[in-house]
Every structure is written in structure tokens, then in C-alpha cells.
Structure 1
């Protein structure tokens, strides 16, 4: 499945009806306990606060998304979700790999707060190479370290 990365910021979401619809469908499939607000409210709040969504795109449709907040050191990931109909096909793993490549291109590491994770999420992150930070507050993937860059 040739999945590509598609970044959605507020302008993209507001201008592209299909992107808005797809993002809404992705988060509508999320278990209620995973989102702090109903799906559409969560999406709007995240985007209006300057966040973005990194999405898995296949055949011009968005199939999965992860919320991203960027700072000077890292991209903080949260609220990862893949459409129910496409789960267990590698979409999520591919999306996280593409996000890692994009973060690497900007000289950033990836971090995920432990407080936002369920046990299954922690297992997936560990399998994908994320490591629990020394203080235990977040998981981190540092693609720069494996490339001989920043540590």
C-alpha cells in the first residue's frame, strides 16, 4: 500500500473539503476515551491553536492521522488514529515512519507523552524504536542519533 505523508494545517483544512471530511472520519473512528472532545471540536481546537496533523494518504484519501505540536527540539505526537476499515494493514506504522523522516528533515526528534498513551500504544512505539526517556515522562524517537547527527 503506497502511503504518503500529507500535512494538514488550519489553512489546508479550511480550504479543502475532502481533507476536512477525511480528517473528521478518521477521528470519528477513534474510541471516545482517546479524544478530549468530540472529533470535530478536537480537530478545530488543535488546528486553531497552531497544531497540525500529519496524515497517511492513499489514493487521494486520508486514512490515518497523528496530531503534532512543534517546538525548537521536537515534534510532540498525540491522538494517533487510523480509520477502522484500514487498520492492521501497516498504515499506522508507515505513517509514523514518514513522520519520523519529516521530523529528521527539520532536525527534530519525535516525542510522545506517556500520559497520552494506552498500554497497546506503548508496545507499538517500543516496537518502532521509540525509547522511554530517562525521566519516564515521554517516549522519544531520535532519528538524528542513528544518522550520526544530534543526540
Structure 2
């Protein structure tokens, strides 16, 4: 069964628990400009820009997908620690890229400057990386 990528509009109690688990082990730099995981999740859900990867009814990874005219930004991408290195982030990026393309936009990753993880993911998936303005 593949990882299903979807925009989360109404997060169930289980979804909320899964999101907390996804961001629990995230490095602190990933949350900027938010104060932490709870703030990021709450804002992304309120803005309707949270996408997540689901497998067997559980969320494994999530990110913030903001849509602008011509350019979409995927930021705050994180995969649950026990699920990392299994292609979940790649699936999220690829699906976000497909959604952007269908809307006539280009997908770009968005991350704070100097973080090798974001640079490596962008290079591996051939997606432009932009630096989050402070």
C-alpha cells in the first residue's frame, strides 16, 4: 500500500497525535518562524496549507505547502523518526510538485540558510531551494 499524500483540512484526534509524533524529533531550526511544533501545526491547519503522507490510516510525514501565483513553497517538511529513509519525504515532494504543476506553478523547497539536510534533499530531488527570509 503506497503513501497517500493529502491536504489536511480537518485533522482528527489521531491525526493531531501523529503530527505531534512527526515533529517531536525535528530540529529546532525547522520550526522558524513558529515557536514550536504546536504553533506550526495550528497555523498550517488554520491556513489550509498542511500536507501529509498517510500509510495505513496513520500520518508519517508532513509539510507546509503555501500556494502563490506561479510558485508554490514546500517548507517545514518532516518525517516521523522511525519512518525516515523510506521515501516518505520524496513522496511528499513529488506529489507537491505534481499538484503545483497541475496548477501551472513551480514547486520550490523553502528552508533556513545553511542547513545541509534541506540542501541535500533539494539536490537529490532536483527541486530549487529558497532561503526563508528572517
Give the TM-score range, shorter chain.
Answer: 0.7 to 0.9
For residues 38-67 of structure 1, what are the alpha-carbon distances to aligned partners after superposition, in whole Å with 9 as ceiling and x for unaligned?
21122112333x241111111111100111
Report matched runs for 1:79-98 at 5 Å. Answer: 79-98=76-95
Corresponding residue for residue 43 of structure 1? 41
Corresponding residue for residue 74 of structure 2? 77
**Greater relative CO (CA pairs within 8 A, separation 6+):** 2
Query: Which ranges of structure 2 fall in alignment gaps of 5 or more residues?
Result: none
Matched residues in 2 for 1:39 and 1:94: separation?
22
Question: Structure 1 runs of 4+ off > 4 angstroms?
Answer: none
Corresponding residue for residue 60 of structure 2? 63
Matched, 1:124 2:115: no
Contact 1:78 1:112 (C-alpha < 8 Å) held by counterparts:
yes
Matched residues in 1 for 2:80 and 2:127: separation?
23
Q: Which of 114-123 and 16-25 deviates more?
A: 114-123
Query: Which ranges of structure 1 fall in alignment gaps of 5 or more residues?
Result: 133-137, 140-151
Matched residues in 2 for 1:114 and 1:6: separation?
21
TM-score, length-scaled by structure 1: 0.75
TM-score, length-scaled by structure 2: 0.84
Contact 1:74 1:108 (C-alpha < 8 Å) held by counterparts:
yes
Matched residues in 2 for 1:4 and 1:116: separation?
30
Corresponding residue for residue 108 of structure 1? 105
Matched residues in 2 for 1:32 and 1:115: separation?
11
- Which entry has the higher C-alpha Rg, 1 or 2? 1
Matched, 1:19 2:7: no
